[in-house]
Amino acid sequence: MKLVVRRVYDFGAQRDEVGETLLSPSAWDAVRRLPGAFHLDDTRAEWLAAGSSPPYPQRAQAVAALVRELGASSLCSHGAGGALLEQRLHELMPELHLTCTDFAPETVARLRELFTGADVVVADLLDPASLPRAELHLMHRLDQELTREEWHDVFSGLDAPVLFVPSEILTPTSAAKELARRALRPRATRAGLFRNEAALRDLWSSWFDDRHVQLADETGFLLTSRAPLRSPA
């Protein structure tokens, strides 16, 4: 059974700076400026120190192992944001051609100054012409951003392997907690959708086979194309 719950995030006193929804370039540019979990550091030294803290080195080790298993020489990380995982991956594999994308232009400009080891570009998953080509695509904690139909559009246009790491794999318990959070915080910012495993697999199952992979503290899916590009039935 597929289970989908709308997610909210409580920014407290900073809510008016972010707005009613997090799902826009301007909102993400705002949260990258604000203190908190999504903050993008102002100096390279601070940014490098943040990426050196757990769990980023451990997650990067797991990604590097998959890159080696696949024999990939290039990786594109979509919606990289602060790119702390990607920073550690570059330290482990400086030979890997690494591209980081985000749809928030101010975030991209700031990240370019910090991350000299990668190509950092503005791109939008919903604009296929803007997406760089790569031998492996990384989609790390992006699952909540798009609707089912939008994810179908994304996956129908890809044929290279994808490492897809959801923000959370929804369970009945976590769904109940999310519904309670919405009731208790009516002014919380809308932040997309959480899905259980059945609903996540529904996003790509028309085009990709998958297997579970473990990235230290996170569970992800390695997606491999099984058919020529086509539209969903």
Q: Identify the pLDDT of residue 221.
A: 98
Contact 47/87 with Cβ under 8 angstroms? yes
Query: What share of the chain in percent tops pLDDT 90?
Result: 97
- DSSP codes joined into one string, 65-124: HHHHHHT-SEEEEET-TT-HHHHHHHHH-TTSEEEEEES-HHHHHHHHHH-TTSEEEE--
81 within domain boundaries: yes
Q: Identify the pLDDT of residue 87.
A: 98
Q: In this structure, how many other beta carbons lie within 10 angstroms of the beta carbon of residue 18?
A: 21
230 within domain boundaries: no
24 within domain boundaries: yes
Q: In this structure, how many other beta carbons lie within 10 angstroms of the beta carbon of residue 183?
A: 8
Report the candidate in 184, 211, 76, 94 with the shortest Cα–Cα distance to residue 139.
76
The string of pLDDT tens digits covering residues 144-199 is: 999 999 999 999 999 999 999 999 999 999 999 999 999 999 999 999 999 999 99
The string of pLDDT tens digits covering residues 13-33 is: 999 999 999 999 999 999 999
Q: Identify the residue whose tokens are 């590009």.
A: 229
* Enclosing H/E stretch for 130: none
Rounded to two decimals, what is the model's pTM?
A: 0.94
232 within domain boundaries: no
55 within domain boundaries: yes
Q: Identify the residue whose tokens are 């120190």.
A: 49
Q: DSSP secondary-structure letter at 154?
A: H
Q: DSSP secondary-structure letter at 15?
A: H
Q: In this structure, how many other beta carbons lie within 10 angstroms of the beta carbon of residue 161?
A: 18
Spatial distance between the Cα atoms of 98 and 117, rounded to a whole number of angstroms: 8
Spatial distance between the Cα atoms of 76 and 107, rounded to a whole number of angstroms: 17
59 within domain boundaries: yes
Q: Identify the pLDDT of residue 80.
A: 98
Q: Determine the structural domain holding residue 115 and report its residue range.
A: 4-225
Domain count, the chain: 1
Q: Identify the pLDDT of residue 227.
A: 59
233 within domain boundaries: no
Encode 104-123: b = buried (16+ Cβ within 10 Å), e = exposed: bebbbebbeebbeebebbeb
Q: How confident is the model at residue 226 (pLDDT cuts 50, 70, 90)?
A: confident
Residue 119's CATH number: 3.40.50.150
20 within domain boundaries: yes
